[in-house]
Amino acid sequence: MAQFSAQLDGVLLALADPTRRAVVRRLGHGPTSVGDLARDFPMTLPSFMKHVRTLESNGLIHTTKSGRVRTCVLNRERLALVDDWLAEQRRIWQERTDRLERFVTDPQENRP
């Protein structure tokens, strides 16, 4: 997982903002134009575009332009990076809590 550290850092940084998480959530329902996405947020379009660029530069979405309409599409595969990292963390902590439970409940574990 160390080889994906920079990519994972970027994805987590992009998801750290509530506006960007809301955009990802909305795009989970399907492709949407930037204009439609921006309507839900109390900010100017240039400010909203900074969020779109952050999501795009970290691979969470990609955009296509047709005429004057820019459409955003969620890159679900990129979210797998976070899912894989969380699964690894769950496994590590499950092993640790299992060892702690054995230590607390098994008298053999408590011997020096």
Cβ contacts of 32 within 8 Å, gap of 6 or more: 26, 71, 72
pLDDT one-digit tens code per residue, 33-74: 999 999 999 999 999 999 999 999 999 999 999 999 999 999
Strands (E), 1-112: 32-33, 61-66, 69-74
pLDDT one-digit tens code per residue, 72-112: 999 999 998 888 888 887 887 777 776 777 778 877 755 56
Cβ atoms of 49 and 40 within 8 Å: the answer is no
Nearest Cα residue to 56 out of 89, 78, 87, 32: 78
- What pLDDT score does 17 carry? 96
Q: Quick one: DSSP state of residue 58?
A: T
Taking the C-alpha atoms of residue 31 and residue 102, their distance in angstroms, rounded to an integer, is 49
Taking the C-alpha atoms of residue 90 and residue 39, their distance in angstroms, rounded to an integer, is 37
pLDDT band for position 1 (cuts 50, 70, 90): very low
Confidence (pTM): 0.77
Average pLDDT over residues 11-37: 96
Q: Kindly report the CATH class assigned to 1-105.
A: mainly alpha
